[in-house]
């Protein structure tokens, strides 16, 4: 520090030292590790000694069942058996329902509840996630693919494109996990997901009016205007039999859910209600021959396990890009839902799941699923909640569910011939109503109005546009907010808490007081090219405002500007140039710039860019208190701030 070091009795060190230089490759490696491997996932592998033990540790990482299977006990299996049978009773009717929602053959819903759960049981890290098809992804597949290919006029091509989209979704999901890019999914904020899911649930419910009203023809559009137009222009085709049957079963399903919510121990009532509805509806149609009176039924479902479908994938123009786009969009939505659900239940049971590992597991099961006549699957909330409430202990519950579905495929599919479609519509509507989380929206309004706008934007985009439009609107608003945080960071004035060296925000602490001649500002964000110009102008405005205030009261004008850099985690070349320009601008006004609490990266870049030399070591302090005290001492003694002896002298000068 030059003269400052001598004045301090030969202390010989800068108040805020410049950290030693590190080789570029070391710095780059550290930043790379922190970006892509913040959880250090392979630490368990590295700690093992010997190639054999390391291989086993690596296998345990990619196949988590190797961790819990050796300690698996009969008591644990009893719990998983009950949970597996319970979720199977929900998975079978939901699988058939969601396949119809995706405009696919109903049997694909059962296929998709057989192979993917087995894969997830081997590779998934969640104990509670129950794998299967989901309504939102099913609706997305239908809405995106049906624009180019009609599922009724060309069902074979439509099916092949759905399987191809599932393959691309799986490749995309697994790639995100392998490349450690899981943070991309985090751009779908909680507010985005709440609005998007509520909008998608609304659209799905509206689409089920076709089945509830017994209509033969219905719009393929998903926006509310088109759906309502299709409904009310066909009032002469409404079938009272379908309306009566659908409303009756919907009331039954909602009643069972209400009972289960009021008494959580009776969760099994709600879980068994969909299968009960299917059985009762099928028996009723069979006995009354209702299919001859306008009640549409599922019809023939062939027996047998999943047929291979590798040769059905479409990798040639002109439809490959459609399948690719559909796969990526539905893959992101499925990932967001699956990981969010898995993390939620992991928090309840106090264990952690690896997001990147989950992506690999979900991606792999969709890739293999596309080879075995399955369409997109993930971890739906409703099925996972039933799994959790049923007392599952491990992912073995998915295996039990898969076995139950296998038995159904081999022996029981003819029993679904008379299942009325209106019952499937009622099952979908009852499941979707649970996704409209109005309480979360109210909470967003109370806590953060911008998040509420994101939520509403996503909802309105889905309901009045399409599922894709809603997703784009929500993500755009979220990214805009992030950009505003970066481009317009908050700066606040700090004041001194009386009888202390503590400085806090003036707009938050009424007791905080300004220091005559010293303006203390806190910058609450990294300084980048996107906000450097704004910060320079904003700091100048703070100085102008303070000058006007002190001039009106006849007080001392601003002599020193102390910048609290504690929240500035990083700075780029534009930021260092901004500080250099600010220094020159303040020099022309006779004001000295002072930095307090700059981090190591800030000091290194200020030093290498020669800005530190321009500002001077004497004007950089480890704390705001020392910086202000030094400025106050200089004002009172008319000496440079760098010759301050110690904090005691500073406190005396302030008094």
Identify whether residues 361 and 496 lie together within a single domain: no
Instruction: Report yes or no on 126 lying in a domain.
Output: yes
Residue 528, domain CATH: 3.30.750.24
The number of beta carbons lying within 10 Å of the beta carbon of residue 321 is 10
Q: How far apart are CA 368 and CA 41, in angstroms?
A: 25
**What's the chain's length in residues?**
655
Burial class (CB in 10 A: 0-12, 13-18, 19+), 115: buried
- DSSP 8-state assignment for residue 20: P
Q: Per the structure, how many domains does the chain have? A: 2
Identify whether residues 509 and 363 lie together within a single domain: no
* Residues 140-146, mean pLDDT to the nearest whole number: 89
Identify whether residues 274 and 367 lie together within a single domain: yes
State whether the Cα torsion 99-100-103-108 is positive or negative.
positive
Instruction: Report yes or no on 377 lying in a domain.
Output: yes
State whether the Cα torsion 202-203-207-213 is positive or negative.
positive
pLDDT band at 38 (very low <50, low <70, confident <90, very high): low
**Taking the chain, what is the end-to-end CA distance rounded to the nearest angstrom?**
27
Q: In whole angstroms, what separates CA 278 from the centre of its chain? A: 35
Q: How far apart are CA 50 and CA 36, in angstroms?
A: 26
Identify whether residues 194 and 329 lie together within a single domain: yes
Q: How far apart are CA 257 and CA 443, in angstroms?
A: 23
Identify whether residues 471 and 518 lie together within a single domain: no
| Kind plus residue range of the DSSP H or E element containing 194 | helix 190-207
What is residue 43's predicted lDDT score, i.e. its pLDDT?
A: 65
The lowest-confidence range among 15-29, 63-77, 157-171, 426-440 is 15-29
Identify whether residues 458 and 528 lie together within a single domain: no
Instruction: Report yes or no on 89 lying in a domain.
Output: yes
State whether the Cα torsion 26-31-35-38 is positive or negative.
positive
Q: pLDDT tens digits for 639-650?
A: 554 444 444 444
Q: In whole angstroms, what separates CA 55 from the centre of its chain? A: 32
Identify whether residues 473 and 505 lie together within a single domain: no
Can you give the residue range of the structural domain that contains 508?
Answer: 489-637
Q: pLDDT tens digits for 184-234?
A: 766 677 788 888 888 888 888 888 888 888 877 777 677 788 888 888 888
Average pLDDT score over the chain: 84
Instruction: Report yes or no on 651 lying in a domain.
Output: no
Instruction: Report yes or no on 354 lying in a domain.
Output: yes
DSSP, collapsed to helix, strand or coil, labels residue 501 as coil
Identify whether residues 344 and 435 lie together within a single domain: yes
Identify whether residues 300 and 338 lie together within a single domain: yes
Continuous H helices in 554-599: 573-588
Identify whether residues 493 and 379 lie together within a single domain: no
Which residue, 144, 129, 135, is CA-closest to 329?
144
pTM of the model: 0.76
Identify whether residues 456 and 543 lie together within a single domain: no
State both tokens at 644: 């301050």
Instruction: Report yes or no on 67 lying in a domain.
Output: no
Of 424, 445, 480, the residue at which a domain comes to its end is 480
Identify whether residues 527 and 413 lie together within a single domain: no
Each residue of 364-379: b (16+ CB within 10 Å) or e?
bbbbbbbbbbbbbbbb
- For residue 237, pLDDT over 90 is answered with no
- DSSP 8-state assignment for residue 146: T
Q: How far apart are CA 311 and CA 379, in angstroms?
A: 27
Q: pLDDT tens digits for 106-136?
A: 999 999 999 999 999 999 888 889 999 988 8
What is residue 1's predicted lDDT score, i.e. its pLDDT?
A: 35
What is residue 641's predicted lDDT score, i.e. its pLDDT?
A: 47
Instruction: Report yes or no on 315 lying in a domain.
Output: yes
State both tokens at 543: 């100085």
Q: pLDDT tens digits for 357-408?
A: 889 999 999 999 999 999 999 988 778 888 888 888 899 999 999 999 999 9
Instruction: Report yes or no on 56 lying in a domain.
Output: no
Q: How far apart are CA 162 and CA 165, in angstroms?
A: 5
Q: How far apart are CA 160 and CA 108, in angstroms?
A: 12
- For residue 15, pLDDT over 80 is answered with no
């Amino acid at each position: 520090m030059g003269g400052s070091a001598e004045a301090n009795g030969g202390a010989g060190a800068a108040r805020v030292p410049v950290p030693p230089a590190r080789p570029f490759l070391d710095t780059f490696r550290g930043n790379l590790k922190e970006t892509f491997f913040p959880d250090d996932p392979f630490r368990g592998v590295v700690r093992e000694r010997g190639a054999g033990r390391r291989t086993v540790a690596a296998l345990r990482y990619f196949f988590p069942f190797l961790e819990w299977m050796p300690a698996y006990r009969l008591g644990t299996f009893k719990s998983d058996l009950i949970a597996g049978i319970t979720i199977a009773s929900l998975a079978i009717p939901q699988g058939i329902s969601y396949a119809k929602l995706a405009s696919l053959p109903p049997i694909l819903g059962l296929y998709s509840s057989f192979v993917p759960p087995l894969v997830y049981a081997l590779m998934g890290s969640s104990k509670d996630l129950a794998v299967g098809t989901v309504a939102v992804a099913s609706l997305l597949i239908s809405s995106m693919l049906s624009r180019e290919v009609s599922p009724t006029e060309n069902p074979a091509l439509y099916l092949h494109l759905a399987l191809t989209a599932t393959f691309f979704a799986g490749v995309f999901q697994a790639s995100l996990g392998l490349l450690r890019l899981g943070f991309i999914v985090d751009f779908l904020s909680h507010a985005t997901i709440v609005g998007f899911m509520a909008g998608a649930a609304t659209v799905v419910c509206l689409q089920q009016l076709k089945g509830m009203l017994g209509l033969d023809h219905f719009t393929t559009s998903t926006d509310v205007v088109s759906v309502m137009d299709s409904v009310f222009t066909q009032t002469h085709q409404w079938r009272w039999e379908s309306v009566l049957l659908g409303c009756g079963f919907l009331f039954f399903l909602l009643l069972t859910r209400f009972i289960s919510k009021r008494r959580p121990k009776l969760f099994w009532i709600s879980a068994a209600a969909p299968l009960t509805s299917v059985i009762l509806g099928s028996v009723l149609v069979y006995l009354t021959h209702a299919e001859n009176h306008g009640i549409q039924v599922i019809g023939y479902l062939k027996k047998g396990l999943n047929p291979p479908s590798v040769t059905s994938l479409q990798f040639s123009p002109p439809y490959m890009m459609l399948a690719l786009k559909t796969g990526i969009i539905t893959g992101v939505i499925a990932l967001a839902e699956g990981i969010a659900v898995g993390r939620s239940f992991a928090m309840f049971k106090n264990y952690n799941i690896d997001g990147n590992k989950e992506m690999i597991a979900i991606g792999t099961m969709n890739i293999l699923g596309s080879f075995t006549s399955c369409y997109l699957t993930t971890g739906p909330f409703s099925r996972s909640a039933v799994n959790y409430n049923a007392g599952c202990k491990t992912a073995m519950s998915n295996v039990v569910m898969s076995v139950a579905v296998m038995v159904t495929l081999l022996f029981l599919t003819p029993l679904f011939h008379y299942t009325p479609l209106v019952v499937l519509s009622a099952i979908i509507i009852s499941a979707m109503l649970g996704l409209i989380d109005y309480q979360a929206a109210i909470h967003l309004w109370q806590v953060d109005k911008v998040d509420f706008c994101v939520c509403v934007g996503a909802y309105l985009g889905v309901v009045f546009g399409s599922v894709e439009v809603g997703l784009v609107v929500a993500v755009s608003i979220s990214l805009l907010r992030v950009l505003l945080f970066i481009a317009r960071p908050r700066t606040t004035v700090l004041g001194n808490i009386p009888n202390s060296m503590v400085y806090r925000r003036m707009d938050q602490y009424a007791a905080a007081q300004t220091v005559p001649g010293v303006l203390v500002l806190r910058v609450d964000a990294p300084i980048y090219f996107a906000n450097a110009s704004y910060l320079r102008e904003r700091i100048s405005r703070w100085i102008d405002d303070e000058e006007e205030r002190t001039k009106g009261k006849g007080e001392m004008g601003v002599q020193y500007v102390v910048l609290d850099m504690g929240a500035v985690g990083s700075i780029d070349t534009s930021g260092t140039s901004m500080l250099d320009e600010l220094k020159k601008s303040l020099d022309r006004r006779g004001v000295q710039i002072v930095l307090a609490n700059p981090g190591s990266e800030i000091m290194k870049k200020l030093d290498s860019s020669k800005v530190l030399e321009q500002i001077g070591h004497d004007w950089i302090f480890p704390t705001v208190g020392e910086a202000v005290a030094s400025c106050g001492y200089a004002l009172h003694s008319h000496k440079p701030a760098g010759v301050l002896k110690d904090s005691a002298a500073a406190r005396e000068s302030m008094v």
